[in-house]
Amino acid sequence: MSFPNHRPRRLRTTPAMRRLTAENRLAPADLILPAFIREGLTEPSPISSMPGVVQHTTESLKRAAAEAVELGVGGIMLFGVPAVRDAQGTASLDPDGVLNKAIRDVKAEVGDDLVIMGDVCLDEFTDHGHCGVLDSEGYVDNDATLEIYGRMAVAQADAGAHVLGPSGMMDGQIAVIRQALEESGHKNTAVLAYAAKYASAFYGPFREAVDSQLKGDRRTYQMDAANRREAILEVELDLEEGADMVMVKPAMSYLDILADVAAMSPVPVSAYQISGEYAMIEAAAANGWIDRRGAITESVLGIKRAGADTVLTYWASELAGWLKES
Ligand code: PBG
C-alpha cells in the first residue's frame, strides 16, 4: 500500500505541537484599546449596539487605562464626546475640552507605560457630524479643515499624547499635522495615519458611541469599497508626508488591502477592527450561534495573519487577559 509522501497532520497532533509550529501569535502588546469619554457623565453609559463597551467618565477611563497597563496592552486610542457642538468643531481646540482633558488625565494615570493616542478628527465635535468643516455648498472643505487639524494636533500633543491618529481622510492631513507638531516643538509626537480608510456600513455602532449628528455619508472623503490599488496610493502619500505608522480600516472586510499594505509598507501597519465587526460577533455569540471566545480570538488572529503589526480592537483588554492566562 502506498502512503502519502507528506502528512501535514503530523504537526497538528497535540496542542504543544500546534503551539510550536504556529506561524503567527497574538500578544497583548500588539493590541490597542479604543475608548470613548463623554463630557458631563456621572456614571459610565453603556452603548447598546456595542454590548460591553461604554462611554466613560474620567474616573472609569482612568481605571480602564490602568487595567490595560496591568494586562500588557500596547496602547489606547481616545475618542471624546463633547457636551456642546458647533459647525467648526471648536471644542476640539479647547485645552480643557473633553478629549484634550482625557489625554491629560490618562497621561497622569499611566505616564509612559501605555502608548496614549488621540483621534484627530472633527466628526465628534461638529454639529453636522462631518469630519471637516463645510463650504457654502455643504461640501467638506479640505484645506479649511486642514488648518483646524493642525491646531487640534498641537492641542493633543500639548496634553501629552504620544501618538496622533488623524482619521478624517482629508488630502494632505499628515503633512499639515507633522509641520504643526514640528513648529510647536513636538518633535517626538508620532503620527499613526488612517491611510486607507473606507466608507463603511460597519461604522454604524460607532455613530451611537459618539452620539454622531451625521446625516448622509462620508463618501466624498473616505475610500470606495470597490478600490484596492488606490489604497497603495493613499499609503504612499501618507509616507511621503511623514507618517510614522499607517492603518487600514475597517479590518475584516479589507484583509486583501491589509495584506497589500503590509507587503509594501516600510513602517508598522495597524488595522482597526471596528464597531460593526465587534457588534456582529457579540450579537451572534449572545444568540448562542457562535463560540464567543473562539470567534474573537480567530478574528483578531486573522487580522494579524493578513499583515497587521498592531490591531485596534474593543476586545483588547479582555483578549490580553486570555493571552496572559494561556
Ligand atoms: C472618525 C472615526 C470613525 C471611526 C473611528 N474614527 C467613524 C467614521 O469614520 O464614521 C469608527 C470606528 C468604529 O466604527 O469602531 N473620527
Range of the domain at 77: 25-325
Domain assignment present for 11? no
Q: How many other CB atoms are found less than 10 A from the CB of residue 274?
A: 24
Please state, rounded to an integer, the average pLDDT across all residues of the chain.
Answer: 97
Question: How far is the C-alpha of 256 from the C-alpha of 244, rounded, in Å?
Answer: 22
Q: Please give the pLDDT value at position 185.
A: 98
| 7 within domain boundaries | no
CA atoms within a 13 Å half-sphere pointing along the CA-CB vector of 239: 16
Residue 87: inside a domain, yes or no?
yes
Which pLDDT band, with edges at 50, 70 and 90, does 1 fall under?
A: confident
Distance CA 124, CA 302 (A): 30
Model ipTM value: 0.95
Q: Answer whether residue 3 is part of any domain.
A: no
Q: What residue's CA is closest to ligand 1, atom 5?
A: 167
Domain presence at residue 183: yes
Which atom number of ligand 1 is nearest to the Cα of residue 218?
Answer: 10
Structural domain total, the chain? 1
Considering the domain boundaries, does residue 17 fall inside one?
no
Whole-prediction pTM: 0.97
Query: Which active-site residues does the annotation give?
Result: 197, 249
The residue type of 174 is: I
Taking the C-alpha atoms of residue 75 and residue 313, their distance in angstroms, rounded to an integer, is 11
In sequence order, what E strands does 7-152 have?
31-38, 45-46, 54-56, 75-81, 115-120
Residue 312 clears pLDDT 80, i.e. is over it: yes
Gap from CA of 5 to ligand 1 centroid (Å): 50
Q: What is the CATH number of the domain that holds 76?
A: 3.20.20.70
| Nearest Cα to Cα of residue 84 among 70, 64, 101, 98 | 98
In the predicted model, what is the mean pLDDT of residues 107-119?
98
Is there a contact between 122 and 97 (Cβ–Cβ < 8 Å)? Answer: no
Question: Which residues' Cβ are closer than 6 Å to ligand 1?
Answer: 119, 121, 123, 131, 167, 203, 206, 218, 274-275
Determine if residue 49 is labeled as part of a ligand binding site.
no
Place of cell 509626537: 189
Q: How far, in whole angstroms, is CA 89 from its chain's centroid?
A: 20
pLDDT at 12: 98
- Band (pLDDT 50/70/90 cuts) for residue 101 is very high
